[in-house]
Structure 1
Amino acid sequence: MNLIIQGSDIQNNDLRAIAKLAQASRIDRITDEAFRMIDAQPQAEIPAYCEKANLDYAFVPAGKKLTDFGLISMDMDSTLLAIESIDEIADMHNVKPQVAEITQRTMRGDISFAESLTQRTALLKDLPQEALQKVYDERFRLSPGAEKMLKHVQSIGIKTMVISGGYTFFADRVKDRLGLDYAFANTFEVQDGKLTGQVLGKIIGSTGKGEILKKIREELGLSKEQVIAIGDGANDLKMLEEAGVGIAFHAKPILKEQATYSFNHIGLDGILNLFE
């Protein structure tokens, strides 16, 4: 087993202390912000030490390669993107505090995603459709490391997909902009150039995300072990369950508890350092 340590400011004394705890045979440098400890053993003290030192850790099977995977599936808001697009739309309609509060309750798992999206979309009634483009033009922001990660995995033939509980207006543009292979999201109803406050069709929530990932995975002829899924909230639980590796990215506790690995301090490009 290898232990991957990642962080923006890794101190040598911390590396030595963690290696001693893990009884690692040696430490290999991957980058200035990532190190691989060989023949490491999981120990109860390691998570607490890393948390105190602001470091991310991951025990990864030796010999596991990034090329072993064929698909990476990502949540969009607060995962692939560093914004919650619906909150930014709400800001244009002067209802951001109300929408943001519902968003946080949803990510914690306090209310169902379908009910949450219905409530938040209703608050956007009568917003001019042009406001959506304004949000995209002015507030679009990728999460740290997203572009680097995507360029690398795409260069080695891994398929990329976003499955969002947000809206197709943004997911489709993200797909085109980043060259993703698939994008799935919910659709606003628009009449006379304004949002009606309704969502068209079946809402993609936690269960839907899992179903979509499983469907695409099977279409590609991939096993569960060949899939990486990345999310940040409760509505990503089912998606992570359909993947061999689930990554909680700056996530809520409910998702961290179920994920294979948690990234609390590093960007999405940290995925590239996990595997040999």
Structure 2
Amino acid sequence: MEDEPKTLLVTLTGKDRPGVTSSIFGALSAAGVEVLDIEQIVLRRRLVLGILVTAPRDWKKLRDVIERTAAELDMSVEVDRGAGDNRSRPGERSHITIIGSPLKASAMAAVAGRIADAGANIDRIERMARYPVTALELHVSGAPAEALRPVLAAEAVRLGIDLAVQRESLHRRGVRLIVMDVDSTLIQGEVIEMIAAHAGQEAEVARVTEAAMRGELDFEQSLRERVALLEGVPASALDEVYASIVLAPGARTMVRTLRRLGYRFAIVSGGFSQITDRLAADLGIHFARANELEIVDGHLTGRIVGDVVDRAGKAAALREFAAEVGVPLDATIAIGDGANDLDMIEAAGLGIAYNAKPMVRDAALTSVNVPYLDSVLYLLGISREEIEDADAEVGIVTPAPLLG
């Protein structure tokens, strides 16, 4: 448009070293221009610096000064005169996180193509991690997240990558609540099978557990049947089971990092409070809810005390914890792997199927299938470098790949 302000786009490329940015801005400052936008990236020590400024009346003179400065720096430069600012396209803005191991160019091409098909534009791309997975965050404008999610979720399944679409909002930066399943999510394996090994019933319990997690059996009925097989197991076996628990890779890192940022955590489990309460205390988790095994005279009776925490119970717990923390459901995150996690995954602002059963992956709009629970951090806009820097400040050496 004729009435749009004239602007100059300065694009500088070359070997990165100290003083490049200050030299270019020194050249610009003599012309008294205003800075409207700036982007700078470094890839393999190669700098790409883009600066958008107001164009002075004698813009060609400024162009000559910039070109001489670039030559002195032994760098290439382009100066383009145009009109207008660098505004995002109208419509909602979204954050799209892509995780691959590896992340191939063909996958990026396909995702970018679907974004373009939706009439959206990729405004900026940032790297969240380069190991043990590759994670990128795309800042996208021009299409609502609700329109992008189903299309990109289907594409992610086809490509074998993990992908999350989140609407840009203040909730993403504020205090949030994370509610996690326990068995095969926060920890590796199923606690009830570990207890069943003490009764010689591990194979039978595992068979029923798998069917329940696939959604083939009513969860409460299957749980009561499995617990009945534990009758007579000494209560002391629970101590042995707890001692043998192995956390999911990156679990401690995720909790530790997000607690620093003021996040609240809850675990809800179809397992047992005798285990989950200890896990919560060990990890610094704020809330825990699970089933309670009945113990009489130092032995399991094969019964559960009180109501069963099932699929509906997990979603109810998420809502209750959110109300207690004082956050809206849009600011909650639910992570789980089995059919009994589906209601809370659907209720949360961001529901994540973590190395989940097929029916859960199909139902959830966000899946993480790499074996590192702290990959969830990348979905929240937290980079691997930020995690390591925060740990280094308190003397923690973050393992690679992240194991705890």
| TM-score with structure 1 setting the length | 0.90
Worse-superposed segment, 61-70 or 89-98: 61-70
Using the aligned pairs only, state the percent identity.
35
Q: Report what 1:8 is aligned to.
A: 101
1:163 aligned onto 2:264: no
Matches within 5 A, 1:17-166: 17-23=110-116, 25=122, 26-32=124-130, 33-39=134-140, 42=148, 47=153, 50-51=156-157, 53-62=159-168, 66-138=172-244, 140-166=245-271
Contact 1:248–1:256 (Cα < 8 Å) also in 2: yes
- The one-letter amino acid of 1:19's match is A
Contact 2:175–2:264 (Cα < 8 Å) also in 1: no
Give the direction of change, closer, same or farther, for the CA distance of 1:220–1:22 in structure 2 (3 Å limit): same
Q: Cα distance, 1:184 vs. partner?
A: 0.8
Q: Cα distance, 1:50 vs. partner?
A: 3.9
The root-mean-square deviation of aligned C-alpha atoms, in Å, is 2.3
Contact 1:71–1:217 (Cα < 8 Å) also in 2: yes
- The one-letter amino acid of 1:57's match is L
Q: Cα distance, 1:63 vs. partner?
A: 5.5
User: d(CA) in 1 for partners of 2:250 and 2:109?
Assistant: 27
Contact 2:153–2:365 (Cα < 8 Å) also in 1: no
SS in 2 for 1:78: coil
Give the direction of change, closer, same or farther, for the CA distance of 1:241–1:10 in structure 2 (3 Å limit): closer
Per-residue CA deviations over 1:71-92 (Å, capped at 9, x if unaligned) read 1111111111111111111122
**Which of these two proteins has the greater Rg computed from alpha carbons?**
2
1:174 aligned onto 2:174: no
User: d(CA) in 2 for partners of 1:183 and 1:84?
Assistant: 17
Give the direction of change, closer, same or farther, for the CA distance of 1:63–1:201 in structure 2 (3 Å limit): closer
More strand by share: 2
Structure 1 portions without partners, runs of 5+: none
- The one-letter amino acid of 1:8's match is S
Q: Report what 2:336 is aligned to.
A: 231
Q: Cα distance, 1:247 vs. partner?
A: 0.8
1:195 aligned onto 2:195: no
Per-residue CA deviations over 1:12-47 (Å, capped at 9, x if unaligned) read 454345334433535321211201233277498855
- The one-letter amino acid of 1:10's match is L
Contact 1:64–1:275 (Cα < 8 Å) also in 2: no
Worse-superposed segment, 36-45 or 213-222: 36-45
Contact 2:150–2:365 (Cα < 8 Å) also in 1: no
- The one-letter amino acid of 1:175's match is A
Matches within 5 A, 1:236-247: 236-247=341-352
Contact 1:22–1:43 (Cα < 8 Å) also in 2: no
User: d(CA) in 1 for partners of 2:175 and 2:152?
Assistant: 27
Give the direction of change, closer, same or farther, for the CA distance of 1:17–1:243 in structure 2 (3 Å limit): closer
Q: Report what 2:358 is aligned to.
A: 253
Q: Cα distance, 1:227 vs. partner?
A: 0.8
Worse-superposed segment, 45-54 or 32-41: 45-54
User: d(CA) in 2 for partners of 1:16 and 1:147?
Assistant: 34
Give the direction of change, closer, same or farther, for the CA distance of 1:266–1:27 in structure 2 (3 Å limit): farther
Structure 2 portions without partners, runs of 5+: 1-93, 382-404
Give the direction of change, closer, same or farther, for the CA distance of 1:113–1:45 in structure 2 (3 Å limit): closer
Which structure ranks higher in relative contact order (CA pairs < 8 Å, sequence separation ≥ 6)?
1
Report the number of matched residues.
Answer: 275
SS in 1 for 2:321: helix
Q: Cα distance, 1:69 vs. partner?
A: 4.4
SS in 1 for 2:293: strand
Give the direction of change, closer, same or farther, for the CA distance of 1:215–1:108 in structure 2 (3 Å limit): same
More helix by share: 1
User: d(CA) in 1 for partners of 2:212 and 2:372?
Assistant: 23
